[in-house]
A and B are shown apart, each in its own frame.
Chain A
């Protein structure tokens, strides 16, 4: 049924080499013109995709199922509606209007740091998370984790019971045992007591931990986080001789150099970084476009936004950083002489923008690179302008690798009597050389507290289920020190306790509610007028005036400046947090597993990512079928350990390097995350947490299928113009010289307005909704996709269904490569329903289930749809999604709580698609009409627009010439996809404008 085609990479390369001008391509499959790609291109769903593909798809099963369908589905329309109950309040709380959502300000815990959010609550049921415009780390935007946090709250696999050796115990039984253990330790001054946590910024929690340590002076507090900010932490210590927090001000920088730093994804300020960076990518009056140089050792979302991207082995980044430092006149040794022309041009550009430039070092690079970045910023006079420093926000910042190694050593030496692990999962995530699993068993009493009964919890005697951030009181600090009071949106679903309550129990206050702990802490901080300030802080989502003051620090000369980069030989293995599931903590989120990863577009798996040349050298065979991408497992031998992972060819990956993302290979994540992918921690060592050399790779010829969405929903454009009627990129200089050239170049694609069967000039009275995506601001972070899933009750379909092209996302982020196979530029393009004025889908629906409304929206009435799929067949943009099966989980009670009550939950056999969040439009319209006011520009935000940290998506009324969307559509770089078809899309795009430096060559 599905035939496999191998891709001949050398042939693909030859084909690309013969091309002139800008050419955009989506995948190797496209270049090789495999039948699998062709079927994705020419059909809305690949051949046979509509066949039943269960485990046993025989005729008998088919008949049985059809029988059931007739009995159950066919006749349901003829039955009576079951009676429904109304359950009003006994005493209705003040301020609640049934049916109207309320928004509460709180913060989510992102690796210990605060991300300020507003949570939508429908009568006590949180359903959606939005960014808090008043919070410095959000400014209204969120990342994909902020959006996915709501699903984690309702995850049915969360730990629900307090356990001792797997048997259910009560909180009081636990606290009695805890007290006994701690009392025994008190006599020993806590000599055998160890605490293991993630970084802590919560002022209350930090004070509680300090109090516990004061009671047990010889106890030790260890911290571990597998993919945190260790290099930044240690690098700052190295450079300044003291722990400091670094704050980047990307909005102030004209020239940005990223040393393998994926600043749009990593760190507690990534949302703010995207906002600040994107504010300089908008081509508007008064905005000076910035320029981004990226030197990267593994493909990243940041690299895709670069104006100059230099792909090198990760071990070569330090040498290049040293060369740049030396070029700027710093007394730094060990500079690499490679790429001298690039470095010279870069140095010149940095010098020309002294005080208005910024150098960032990535978490995957060793601390010395961070120290170099600090030295370069200081030399360029950027300190105080594009980069500032403050006291550390974390309580007791430590080197996590050293801290965990120390704990492992103590454990092995039998010195640990009581180990309390809070929210960390070292058994899964510790570097392999620490052998933490075996070490952990040496602790006599092991207590684990966490959201899940995970790999670590499983090996501890006691397991305490923790409450989710949305269920508990607390506080957190953002990366700039701003404190937020964390307030619960709902009582703990499973009666779990918060960390504050656990720590209070450690100090003998087992019955103290978390609210009182936090409130008492802040009572001392906020002083007089406490009640008013506390309420104000809860309302705003920030405690006013808590940001840390800037601190003057200077780079200390040290051995790091002179030391040559550590020699790394052979092939290299890179460890990075997964773009979707991070370090594994999000592994059980179906939304994130199914999210196509930023660059690779893989779902449900991690893979050994390698360049086309490396794949050719290894003889790895990749191919495609209509049932997913076929590849083979490769054996990775690294520092005496080995693992097998599916190979995946990524154009633009450095040669002789393999990237393996962390976060997979979980065994106790839950029913979604268990058994997916390979655990990279089993190869990772504590001396080389970011990358290491000496990797050997061997092809095994064992076949493996990956679900990659890169070819799905490929729009069918004529090949010779495929280039620019989908993706448009110009260079800034060219654009500034003649802004209209790019539009004129394609003017002949636009059909005459009267070339239509409809009355040619239908006037839309009143509001006419439209949307613009600024491709130059978009960084491909995927927040919009998850936001859309959360807002519109979009189901998760699973790996097999994704492989067949049945993912249900209403907005997808298409990734285009431009240029040659080995070092292509990467562009992102979010594609949602175009809401065509001449919608091709509407003409072919036999039951008028999809039709136009008076505001120009292309409506979809689910209950009218009979599932012919003619509409998706006729949609040139391929934005319609069909429920082949009952994908929505109608059974799990906790998941029902998450659903947005304003959007229908779709069933099997129904077509669905983006509606521009029509539920939000309707609410705004009814509200405005009730008050007899027009809808103001910006009153309606679609879910994707609201989440977008880059503000790349703008929705509004195109009939209002003053609206932001109408203004943006006036820009000369505005264009519609496949305009030659005459569908007149309401969604348009602003072309990418790259700002390369003519003086820089990549040699």
Chain B
């Protein structure tokens, strides 16, 4: 899901960067008000964990393709949307600058997709299912899957708007692959959440808190 340099149009790159800067400014404002210093190491650990997990591409059975975790649904479940944007932005920026994973000119768009859209989509799922009878494991699986597919749809729209390929082809192809990859995202998110709960890795340490 890391978009390289040279593919999207300058207009889309600029638009992505502007939206990301505006949202991140709001994220910083939110954390100035709400982010306790005691929560910072816990979030840092989760950032490091997500960086590590993103390195492990899992094969898509029967296809010469792979996928890897984004982690937006995982962090959003534990910390809520605004803190998650900071975690994911740290990961995506280090990947682009230090490891050449995701283009530097695309950094704004990659942040928009993986650090903002993915956790936002997951947070919407959490909001919708919070008061339902759906078990946590099922809810985080759904949130993981939805976050990947919605992010893929945005990536496809960015390709279409850049006149790289038609919207229809981009949407079909990207959503198809990521509907499969999303299963991996859902399963990993569902597997990690119980361990994070056991470690009380929630913002403010309050169990069952979903913001």
A and B interact: no
